[in-house]
Amino acid sequence: QVQLVESGGGSVQTGGSLRLSCAASGSTDNAYCMGWFRQTPGKEREGVATIDTDGSTRYADSVQGRFTISHDNAKNTLYLQMDNLKPEDTAMYYCAAKQFYMVCSADYPRDFGYWGQGTQVTVSS
């Protein structure tokens, strides 16, 4: 099993930047697809970005070109660099991991078995 702890959320104005971190502990030697998701009250959790063990990445259309997902293997830490933030990016952000997958994508959050507690991001206009 793997445990995930997010940090780095906060409040920024439109156009600002934030970097989220997700520290992993436990069985980190296993191969995982890692991802970032976000959720606002009353809405379903949506995938933001994923990164596979070979470094390949996928992004939701809404964040493509503004967000960058990365992973520091030495630190067992997942990152999400968020630039040019917009009010519609306001949400609770979660990191997640899944094993035994065919495709490392965030299309189906239910496929991810490990989740952090979330960190709030608020973007004001």
pLDDT at residue 52, as a whole number: 95
Predicted local confidence at residue 100, as pLDDT: 86
Amino acid 63 reads V
Q: Are strands 46-51 and 33-39 parallel, antiparallel or unpaired?
A: antiparallel
Dist CA 65 CA 81 (whole Å): 11
Segment 9-56, tens digit of pLDDT: 999 999 999 999 999 998 877 889 999 999 999 999 999 999 999 999
Among residues 79, 125, 91, the alpha carbon closest in space to that of 10 is found at 91
Helix (H, G, I), strand (E, B) or coil at 38: strand
Cβ atoms within 10 Å, residue 109? 17
